[in-house]
Structure 1
Amino acid sequence: MASKISLGNKARISFDYGVDENGKQIIKRKSFSLIADATDDQVYTASNNFASLCEKPLVEIEKIETYELQA
């Protein structure tokens, strides 16, 4: 049976930078590492607080959990 080992968690927040000359939306992302036991609510709050310091509008917040699978 396979088991998983956590390699860490990251938050990635996306910002709207308008549209390019072809009308395609420009999205730029910032990522930061999370402490191991951060709850989803804490990640959401911290990401919103960070986004409030930025000039561009917030598009989305993602929590990325990375694992290694071992046999």
Structure 2
Amino acid sequence: MATKISLGDKARISFDYGVDAEGKQIVKRKSFKIIAGATDDQIYTAANNFASLCEKSLLEIEKIENYELQA
């Protein structure tokens, strides 16, 4: 049976940078490592606090969980 080993989690925040010459939305992202044991609410609050310091509009907050699978 396969087992998973955590490689650490990240929060990724996406910002709206307007549109390009072709009318497509420009999205820029910033990723941060998450301290082990942080709750989803803590991650969401921290990401929102960071986004409030930025000039661009917040689009989304993602939590990315990374694992290695071993046999």
Aligned to 1:10: 10
Q: Which runs of 5+ in 2 are unaligned?
A: none
State the distance in 2 between where 1:70 and 1:37 align: 23
What is the TM-score when the length of structure 1 is the normalising length? 0.99
Structure 1 residue ranges, 4+ long, deviating more than 3 angstroms after superposition: none
Aligned to 2:70: 70
Residues 1-71 of structure 1 mapped to structure 2, 5 A cutoff: 1-71=1-71
What is the TM-score when the length of structure 2 is the normalising length? 0.99
**How far is 1:18 from its partner?**
0.2
Cα deviations across residues 7-63 of structure 1 (Å, max 9, x unaligned)? 000000000000000000000000010001111000000000000000000000000
In percent, how many aligned pairs have the same letter?
82
Q: Which runs of 5+ in 1 are unaligned?
A: none
